[in-house]
Amino acid sequence: MGTARRNRSEPWNAIAALLLFIIMIATGASSAEENPIPPTLDRIRQTGILRIGYGDTPPFSYVGADGAVIGYSIDLCKRVAEELRVQLGLSRLDIEYVPRTPSNRVQLLNSGTIDIECNASTNTDERRRSVAFAIGHFFASTRYVSLSKNRLRRIGDLAGRSVSVALGTVNVGHINKVNRERKLNLLLVPVDSLQAAFDLVTQERVSAFAMDDVLLSAMIAASGTPDSYALSDEVLTDPEPYGFMMRLDDHDFEMAVNAALRKIYASSEMPKIYERWFTQPIPGRNINLHLPMSTALKQAVFAQD
């Protein structure tokens, strides 16, 4: 008899648990709506802190030998921070650096953990559905790296081979598109980081790694045996702009950042900032990319006057 009563009560217990779950979701959603992320400029005024997301992506952003976060993107964002300090009339604006990965950068922005991502994120239509982008600070094409001895220089040379990709990067879509259009029958191997994807090539576990050409060039130069690697002659995409990512619909902050960048781009300091990272030895890495400013970047920078 007792067992029968317990069995009859089980459906009601399940219904009660479901109702409680629905109430918790509704309450959580209501709380989120009542406590939205405040406008970034308002929070900066209140706290005197700008939170910058950075990566492990020389020469754009990385941790230097002394533990400080440095890079081309960081140099620009530090100057943006100074311009924001002046715009807001603050006596001081501190920077808080927050590490991010290709797969969590958008989440960190939209959760309010970082205010701006200062690295090497490609500005695409798809990404603009989730984040806002500042005016471009670099242009890159997707290529692939392989071992020189394998002579994989054209896209067609990859047919039937394996290619590593870094999760959360636009290059995943690029190589998938080429794979479909050219019927290459590629085996794609996704991993969590750029270095892990590059290491798979070194270990001969994949034939190639598809990524932005400038980042591949830096990784090849830093490998210690650059002659062992070859960058593809053929590109998978036309040059696309990098931009600093910000939260959607935070228009005042977006306008303030772009105003700061226009001022920086128009200054005599901008060529020096670029040269420090792309035509001189990269600090702490003892490599030189020998990469003059591209025509696309010159047009983008000098169009901001």
Q: What is the arithmetic mean of pLDDT over 21-47?
A: 67
Q: Tokens 């409680």 — which residue?
A: 20
CA 237 to chain centre: 18
- Residues 142-237, CATH architecture: 3-Layer(aba) Sandwich (3.40)
> What integer pLDDT is reported at residue 15 of this predicted model?
53
Structure tokens, 215:
């980042």
What pLDDT was estimated at residue 30?
Answer: 40
Inform me whether the pLDDT recorded for 21 exceeds 90. Answer: no
Q: Do the domains 40-139+241-302 and 142-237 sit in the same CATH topology, yes or no?
A: yes
* 253 φ, ψ (degrees, to nearest 5): -65, -45
Burial class (CB in 10 A: 0-12, 13-18, 19+), 188: middle
Spatial separation of the C-alpha atoms in residues 286 and 231, rounded to whole Å: 20
- Consecutive H or E run containing 297: helix 295-302
Residue 125 φ/ψ, nearest 5 degrees: -55, -45
Q: For the whole model, what pTM was predicted?
A: 0.84
Which of 177, 167, 59 shows the shortest CA–CA distance to 105? 167
CATH of domain 40-139+241-302: 3.40.190.10
* 182-207 tens-digit pLDDT: 999 999 999 999 999 999 999 999 99
Calculate what percentage of the chain has a pLDDT beyond 70. 88
Domain ranges for the chain: 40-139+241-302, 142-237
Q: Is the CA virtual torsion 202, 200, 109, 114 positive or negative? A: negative
